[in-house]
Amino acid sequence: MMLLLVAVSFVITGIVSSLHFKNANKIYHKDRLLRKEKAIEAHLIREIAQVIHSPNKTMDLNAIIAEEIQALSKIHHTDVMLYGMNGQIIMSSNPELLVDGTMPRQLPEGIRYRRNQVVNFRSDKSNDSEIMVYAAELIDDDGHPLGIMVVPYALEDYLSPTEEGAFYEALATLYVIIFLIASMIALFLSRSITRGVEVVSNAMKNNPLTADRKHIAWSSRDEIGVLVNQYNLMIDQLADNAKQLAQAEKESAWKQMAQQVAHEVKNPLTPMRLMTQMHATKAGNLTAEEVHAFADGMLAQIDAMTQVADDFSQLSKGPSKDKSTFIAPIVLEIQAAYPMLKVLIPRSLEGVQSVVNRERLIRVLNNLISNAKEASVLVDKPQFSLMVVHDEHWLTFTIKDNGCGIDPANLEDVFQPRFTTKSRGTGLGLAIVKAILDRFGGTIWVEASSPEGSEFCFTLPVKA
């Protein structure tokens, strides 16, 4: 903006200077023409008066006036023309003006009726520039008009091209110097501003919200200093908010986990309590079969609580030390466990190992296939399949069924803990599957889901 301001001011100054020179040029020539005309008019009237009042009446007035006009033209370096009161030319100090059409033989009314003032005139027959004329009415001592004296004056610049060029050259030099100074000032100001902005930008870029941010050191108390100070205050507030948020998240997670554990443990405890109370009332009359049934019921509920504990422990377990297993044998075992499961595996899967251990992979496959089987219960001809594809670095498992599908509104929550659409269960199955795959560098997603069925996919890295 500073450089643009200098450039615009240079153009405006040049335009104003040019207009000033043109206006000054007109004023200069107008004053000069008036001075010449007054001098010529006074001299010519005096000479005419001397001839008229001379006792020698034989003198030729026209010859004398012609001679005086020629003399005055040479003295004042200008042309002089004399017209009659009817506008017809009488005589001229320079007949060439009449020949080439610069001045007319019949004085136009625009000049004849605007006597005693400067008039700009351009002849229709002349291609020259505009000329300035002054028409003065010559009057004798008795007040009788003698004629109209016209003094043409060609407009020329009162400054020579060399002088005018020198002026514009000096003006251009001055503005070049101003432009260079403004450039240095603009560069200094822009650097002082952008340097501070870059410091803040780099600090924000290099420090994500989850990382420890550091204060920015800025010594100046300018506008950037105010910005840096606000940034430092924001960093302190973010640190405090992060601590509070982390603490709140921990407390919320523990509360949710405690509520979930209490709920899942309470479910088997209720029937255990009822069974115990019922058998306590008839403890002396129990048969061996009733004792055996009581023991079986208690063991079933204890197994349910054990399963709950195992499910929750899976969310916090780390990877097993055994980080490799052959894939093909496990897939064949899964096929044997689920006779209705259709398995598609390539021949190249023989000898391929994955970084996941055996128990974890079986748990993942059991969970997904059980879900597919349960989703197809209400279908007349349930179908579910397992397909394995592998390349150089990855194994891709696809479990597909023709069940009822998943509600689109629930697709984003299927891998969240406590999410379930079943009337029983902990709602941790898919969350545990995702946790296991995450620990071994794999991923899981819902490839497709509709009322005609669902398709789950997960990947595992191939062991090199």
CATH topology of domain 325-461: Heat Shock Protein 90 (3.30.565)
pLDDT tens-digit series, residues 419-462: 666 655 556 778 888 888 888 889 999 988 888 889 999 999 99
* Positions in the chain short of pLDDT 50: 157-158, 210
**2-158, superfamily in CATH?**
PAS domain (3.30.450.20)
Parallel, antiparallel, or unpaired: how do β-strands 145-154 and 341-344 relate? unpaired
**Looking at residue 457, what is its pLDDT?**
94
Give CA–CA dist 200/402, Å, rounded.
56
> How far does the chain reach from its first CA to its final CA, in angstroms?
62
Write down the domain spans for the chain. Answer: 2-158, 207-314, 325-461
Give CA–CA dist 455/184, Å, rounded.
66
Q: HEC states along 138-206? A: EECCCCCEEEEEEEEEECCCCCCHHHHHHHHHHHHHHHHHHHHHHHHHHHHHHHHHHHHHHHHHHHHHH
Q: Output the average pLDDT for the chain.
A: 78
pLDDT tens-digit series, residues 169-220: 888 888 888 888 888 888 888 877 777 777 777 777 665 554 556 777 776 7
